[in-house]
């Protein structure tokens, strides 16, 4: 049995993504896909996410973030890979 390699992504989501439940949506997506990390609002109006999981989990999670909750309008998603931090759960900050 092989264990999928854990990867880390810093994800910045831009558009109308604050005040629309994006952080709570992101946490549900993380729980649904098994991704760990955190999400927070930034002063510039974007949403900042650090996410960890297998490549497949992260691909699904990022696609969910590109869609966002019903009231969001996502204009851009920027992703930067990085070294795993080994988060144990997913939190809203």
Would you name the residues annotated as active-site residues? 23, 41
Distance CA 52, CA 16 (A): 24
Distance CA 74, CA 71 (A): 10
């Amino acid at each position: 049995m092989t264990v999928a390699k854990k990867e880390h992504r810093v994800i910045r989501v831009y558009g109308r993504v604050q005040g629309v439940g994006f952080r709570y949506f992101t946490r549900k997506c993380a729980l649904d896909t098994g991704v760990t990390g955190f999400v927070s609002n930034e002063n510039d109006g974007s949403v900042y996410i650090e996410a960890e999981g297998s490549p497949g989990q992260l691909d699904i999670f990022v696609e969910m973030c590109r869609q966002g909750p019903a009231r969001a309008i996502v204009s851009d998603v920027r992703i930067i890979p990085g070294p795993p931090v080994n988060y144990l759960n997913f939190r809203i900050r």
